[in-house]
Structure 1
Amino acid sequence: GAFVFALTGPPTGRDGVYRQLRLRDQQLEVLWKHRPCKGLQWIEELRFTPDGDLLVLGFHADNFVVWSSRTSENLHCIPCGGGHRSWSYCSSPSAQVFTFIKSGDVMLYHCEGKPCEQQVLLPSLHGREITCVRRLGAVEVPGHVTLNVFVTGSEDTTTCVLVLSEHSRAAVPLVRLSDHISSVRTLAFAMGPGDEGFGDEGLSALLFSAGGRAQIECYRLLCTGDRASESAVACQVIHVASHRLDEHWERKKNRHKLVKMDPETRYMSLSVVPGTSTKQQPTRWKFLAAACSDGSVRIFGLLEAARKLVLVAESFHHERCVLKVEARQRGCHFCGSRHLLCSAATDGSIVFWDITGTIADAADALHKPVFPALDAPLVTVMAHSCGVNSLHIHETPEGQYLVASGSDDGSIHVCLLEVALGRGDAAAGTCLDVLQRVSRPCAHAAHVTGIRVLRPDLLLSASVDQRLTLWNLHQGELVPLSTTFFHVPDLAELDYWEVAEAGGELRYYCVLCGQGLEMVRCWYDTWWPAALCAVGQPCATTLMLQF
């Protein structure tokens, strides 16, 4: 369908937001909204330029402002006394003219065009440090190499969808989302086919972003190849739903009888509960687990068709800031699928939950005045002496789970769990047995903020000490294989993915974020004779830098 930009609110657009809309079945459908520079609350007009830029014209305090959506900067700031006046603006490569009425006089501002003396050596992705990164997937474009699509969140309150090319070593932003009012701390994806407006082509996913002020935003993304664009990829965004704890509390009945939710709560981590939505389910529920700074673990339910994101359950078992959550699904021949949740807190504990009943009773929870608490935890493992900054769960071919975690004290902990689903009886519940625990006290010299289990015998960890280390899990010990230094200070997060090469060789890629963004390629050869290397050839790395 056709896409247009329109102002919201009063005709003068005084809420400081413009929205993108789509015309479908003779109806205008809002896709997503965008907020220009901070303080530009009085938007007057939008203009498209011949080179594809979108200019936002409006008033900031007593100045007339021309803001570029492509470069995210003010092109002109002209003192005029503010809004509530007649004005006109015209621009050309040779001059800029702005005329307005002030105190009954007609004022004219004229500025001759000058060549830009500013040379941008490397454009920035965000205005502040990058706090989280996730790889959405790869897009195949005829005539181009495979392009990787990432999503980043930042302290500057924005979320950026970008393309990172391995050959050009450049990051090209596709879309910037600015719905958050505080920092974006965590991201999560629910992959699957697009909705009826997108079709089944391209790379489609639900994106959840969360952070400060207890705010969660949900978008539907579709990335497709577009050889006409600079990035060779086009990204379409639809805003699906949003949720804030303070707004939710204000809408509750008899709220004077309840404890008010802290509006300053921060969401530290998100994880989509897999296996809760299929095409056969008419409601198509999707569930999301969140780690919260107020000491709670919360479960949210999303009805995409109704564009509603609701809180369905919570638990304050940790009684301290929860830093990480990871959700997994486990099938059973006797009692069906079970949904397991792992959460970690600032005291170094890792707690395992069975949230199958919570997921099943989600529809009933919508009509209850008080949200039900999660069931009692299955197992609690004291893995570290302080906060758990990184967590990853890997299912082994035998159906067991490897849970790897990294801490503030630089230690790494790995435990092997066996899941017993009801012991053949659905009413018996889920049991977890800890089969093995492995700890490496001084794995890094600083906080371990990224860890991933590549395969049952291979781990990858990254730390604020700017070291990326590959570990071999062998006979109850973590043996370092190779270490390389990366160039991103204050590492915040690590994500990874696998690529099968033409010869069947498996390559591992990872992306690191913090004060910048870096992509690393590594591989692990096991074809060397055992006499030369008992655990295989250490990894080699190719660095790609983007700050």
Structure 2
Amino acid sequence: DETRLSAPWPAATGSPLSVLFGLHGKTGVTSVTIHRGYIYSTGRDGVYRQLRLQDQQLEVLQKHRPCKGLQWIEELRFTSDGDLLVLGFHADNFVVWSSRTGENLHCIPCGGGHRSWSYYSSPLAEVFTFIKSGDVMLYHREAEPCEQQVLLASLHGREITCVRHLGAMEVPGHATLNVFVTGSEDTTACVLVLSENSQAAMPLARLSDHISSVRALAFAMGPGDEGFGDEGLSALLFSAGGRAQIECYQLLCTGDTVSKSAVACQVIHVASHRLDKHWEQKKNRHKLVKMDPETRYMSLSVVPGTTTKQLPTPWKFLAAACSDGSVRIFGLLEAARKLVLVAESFHHQRCVLKVEAFLLPLHPPSRRHLLCSAATDGSVAFWDITVALLTEPVFPALDTPLVTIMAHSCGVNSLHIRKTPEGQYLVASGSDDGSIHVCLLEVALGRGEAAAGTCLQVLERVSRPCAHAAHVTGIRVLRPDLLLSASVDQRLTLWNRLPGELVPLSSTFFHVPDLAELDCWEVVEAGGDLRYYCVLCGQGLEIHGCGAQNWWSQGRRQM
């Protein structure tokens, strides 16, 4: 009416507080939802993003790709039982996908997108209506009792390739909760929690930014060296794998007595790096040999003690073993959310399988950052990477190794370094030929300049041929006199290191086929006893515990 038309419109509020251009590419945004203080956006690029409002500015926390083929996401629905339903189109079908179970709940032929539609669900029935060729079509299904019984929910769709134990948490009213991160051939990484009283792992978050398999994980702890801030367990997580891709996330795990898992996990995507994109940004690239975009990162190691004030801005550094025969050093500028290639070397001339960084903890002017790398020919090389780290990144080549040891007759599939109370370093490695090699190193500083003044001396070497009947894919130095090894032969063995030999103490079998990796941590019990735990991954996940002499508990397994 006249009164309504002539009513004054609200005054304009001015320009937007925050704008994110091209968040979902050229195809645009299809929906925006607010849930529990977070903003969720969907688009026709096949992903949905989680955002938050920080200081009146929109900040993208992470993106999720629900499943392959779902290239058109229309809407998100949050259910009362905690599930997140993704509604979209796959080819000419309307799809309802459950993020909790990781499967399609409905797949209805409708001719595809670009049409009016509506979907409604309740505990009694589900209705989907749409327009096709000028006709209104209705799909109706009444609720039916589910005959499928999930005995044990899966963690990944394919084998688990890597695992890391982030830490333990104490939540009131619950037993100790251990937080892990796993990577898989299904291109995802999963943050999960396992209670000491439970028999199953519960996923907290899934990271789906990788376009190929996730083969390696590494993390730098958050506030302080222990990773425990006032808010909980925090860490900076790096994941890497196929297609020369590295992703970096910030994790914050806090106690949540309301949720079923008793832990809430906040994930913020920090930075990413692809070798092919790095090559395209280089000047005079026509004069260079193009980097292989199919390069795989086989192993990662965060260089300790590199948040240094010797550079204008604080950097964190990451070493990577690469399938194209190179050892690469990356630098993370967290404030700018940039991950850049700092240095590299093709010394090995063959696939590099493992890297392990360690620190010579001297006074800052004399501090040395060292790196150990191992390749498919059985060689183990030791590098001084101090100069490459403390120079403003200009992409220098790494110097030649300080020393190279032929530890095995073929590929080195496991590597671990531990400092002894005397200030020396024990380097343990396991090979494809089933052998274990341990060497004792002493690091000395000469009178020369920085890198030239670093000297490595091999004090002792011990080799144990045929320690296992198959590839040794996991090894850890628990103490200077105690080692743990795991193999594809599904045996977990404790070794006593004596002068000139390794003596087996005890052995147990585990149930995970095709073992890919293990990780270990220590726990001080109430009586002061020190006990060791290890997590193994492959075609499943399993945890074992042991004392100083033998196994004292059988592990838990989760596929």
- TM tier, smaller: over 0.9
1:167 shift after superposition: 1.1
Amino acid at match of 1:471: W
Distance in 2 (CA, whole Å) between partners of 1:496 and 1:468 is 12
Matched, 1:296 2:326: yes
Work out whether residues 80 and 102 of structure 1, in 8 Å CA contact, stay in contact via their aligned partners in 2.
yes
Distance 1:324 1:220, change over 3 A: same
**Match 1:330 to one of 354, 360, 368:** 360
> Structure 1: how far apart are the matches of 2:404 and 2:311?
34
Count of matched residue pairs: 521
**In structure 1, the residue corresponding to 2:278 is in which secondary structure?**
helix
User: Matched residue of 2:279: which SS?
Assistant: helix
- Residues 244-283 of structure 1 aligned to structure 2 (within 5 Å): 244-277=274-307, 283=313
Kept in 1: contact 2:384–2:451 (CA 8 A):
no
Whichever residue aligns with residue 410 of structure 2, its letter is C
Q: 1:318 & 1:280 partners in 2: Cα distance? A: 30
Match of 1:8 in 2: 24
Matches of 1:334 and 1:237, distance apart in 2:
33
For residue 290 of structure 1, give the secondary structure of its aligned residue in structure 2.
strand
For 1:282 and 1:47, the matched residues in 2 are separated by 46
RMSD of Structure 2 on Structure 1 (CA): 1.7
Paired amino acid for 1:210: A
Q: Distance in 2 between matches of 1:504 and 1:119?
A: 43
For the pair 1:419 / 2:451, whether they are aligned, the reply is no
Matches of residues 471-486 of structure 1 in structure 2 within 5 Å? 471-486=495-510
Residue correspondence of structure 1 range 66-465 to structure 2 within 5 A: 66-193=96-223, 200-277=230-307, 283-333=313-363, 335-361=365-391, 363-365=392-394, 371-422=395-446, 426=450, 428-465=452-489
Q: State whether residues 158 and 177 of structure 1, in contact with CA within 8 Å, keep that contact through their aligned partners in structure 2.
A: yes
Code of the residue aligned with 2:50 in structure 1: it is Q
Deviation at 1:421, TM superposition (A): 2.1
Local SS of the residue matching 1:20: strand
Deviation at 1:538, TM superposition (A): 3.4
- Structure 2 counterpart of 1:150, one-letter code: F
State the Cα distance separating 1:541 from its structure 2 match.
Answer: 3.1
Given the alignment of the two structures, is residue 28 of structure 1 paired with residue 58 of structure 2, yes or no?
yes
Answering whether residue 529 of structure 2 is matched by residue 509 of structure 1, we say: no
CA distance in 1, matches of 2:503, 2:229: 47
1:279, distance to aligned residue in structure 2 (A): 8.2
User: Does the Cα contact within 8 Å between 1:334 and 1:426 map onto a contact in 2?
Assistant: no
Residue 201 of structure 1: how far off its partner (Å)? 1.9
Superposition deviation, residue 157 in structure 1: 0.3
3-state SS of paired residue (2:550): strand
Secondary structure at 1:449 match in 2: strand
Q: Distance in 1 between the 2:371 and 2:110 partners?
A: 57
Q: Deviations over 1:354-388 (max 9, x none)?
A: 00000011x241xxxxx321011000000000000
Residue in 2 aligned with 1:368? none
Checking the alignment, whether the CA contact within 8 Å between 1:473 and 1:479 is kept in structure 2 is: yes
Distance 1:281 1:145, change over 3 A: farther
Shift of 1:422: 2.8
C-alpha separation between the residues in 1 aligned to 2:494 and 2:158? Answer: 29
Distance 1:76 1:283 in 2: 51
1:177 to partner: Cα distance: 0.6
When the two structures are superposed, what TM-score results if normalisation uses the length of structure 2?
0.91
Letter in 2 for 1:161: V
- The 8 Å contact of residues 332 and 421 in structure 1, kept in 2 or not, is answered as no
Deviation at 1:542, TM superposition (A): 2.6
**More displaced, 118-127 or 44-53?**
44-53
Match of 1:541 in 2: 553
Q: 1:51 to 1:307 in 2, by over 3 A?
A: same
Change (3 A) 1:280 1:89: farther
Distance in 2, matches of 1:276 and 1:401, equals: 20
Q: Does the 8 Å CA contact 2:152/2:200 hold for their aligned counterparts?
A: no
> For the residues of structure 2 that align with 1:443 and 1:400, how far apart are their CA atoms?
25
Aligned equivalent of 2:11: none
**Aligned residues of 1:132 and 1:152 also touching (Cα < 8 A):** yes
Report the CA distance between 1:11 and its aligned residue: 2.6
Counterpart of 2:511 in structure 1 is 487
- Is 1:132–1:154's contact at 8 Å kept on the other side of the alignment? yes
Distance across 2 between alignment mates of 1:418 and 1:243: 35
The change in CA–CA distance for 1:424 and 1:294 in structure 2 (over 3 A counts) is closer
* Closer, same or farther: CA 217–426 of 1 in aligned 2, 3 Å: closer
Aligned partners of 1:129 and 1:516 also within 8 Å: yes
Supply the distance in 2 between the matched residues of 1:418 and 1:100 (Cα, whole angstroms). Answer: 73
Comparing 24-33 with 455-464, which one deviates more in the overlay?
24-33
Whole-angstrom distance in 2 between the partners of 1:450 and 1:103: 60
CA deviation profile, 1:153-204 (whole Å, cap 9, x unmatched): 000000000001121121000000100000000000011219xxx9742111
1:352–1:379 Cα contact (<8 Å) kept: yes
Indicate the percent of aligned positions where both proteins have the same amino acid. Answer: 84
Q: Which amino acid aligns with 1:117?
A: E
Q: Which amino acid aligns with 2:209?
A: D
Quickly say closer, same or farther: Cα 1:92–1:435, change in 2 above 3 A.
Answer: same
- Cα distance in 2 for partners of 1:16, 1:422 equals 57
| Counterpart Cα distance in 2 of 1:372 and 1:425 | 18
- 3-state SS, counterpart of residue 116 of structure 1: coil
Q: Secondary structure at the match of 2:223?
A: coil
How far apart, in 1, do the equivalents of 2:517 and 2:325 lie? 21
Counterpart CA distance in 1 for 2:381 and 2:355 is 9
Q: Give the match for residue 534 of structure 1.
A: none
Q: Does 1:52 align with 2:82?
A: yes
1:129-157 per-position Cα deviation (integer Å, ceiling 9, x unaligned): 00000000011101111100000000000
**SS of 1:436's equivalent?**
strand
CA contact under 8 A between 2:387 and 2:450: conserved in structure 1?
no
| Distance in 2 separating the partners of 1:43 and 1:221 | 26
Offset of residue 71 of structure 1:
1.2
Task: Check whether the contact 1:481–1:539 (CA below 8 A) recurs between aligned residues.
Answer: no
What's the offset of the Cα at 1:31?
Answer: 0.3
Q: CA 1:501–1:240 in 2, change beyond 3 Å: closer, same or farther?
A: same
**C-alpha distance in structure 2 between counterparts of 1:401 and 1:142, whole Å:** 40
Q: 2:311·2:390 contact (CA, 8 Å) conserved in 1? A: no
Give unmatched runs, 5+ long, in structure 1. Answer: 1-5, 366-370, 525-536
Over residues 188-236 of structure 1, what are the superposed CA-to-partner deviations in whole Å (9 max), with x where a residue is unaligned? 0011219xxx974211110000000000000000001111110101100
TM-aligned CA deviation for residue 475 of structure 1: 1.7
Q: Distance in 2 between matches of 1:280 and 1:228?
A: 45
3-state SS of 2:547 partner: strand
Q: Distance in 1 between matches of 2:99 and 2:308?
A: 38
Task: Describe the SS at the equivalent of 1:510.
Answer: strand
**AA in 1 matched with 2:120:** C
Could you tell me how far 1:545 is from its partner in structure 2? 1.8
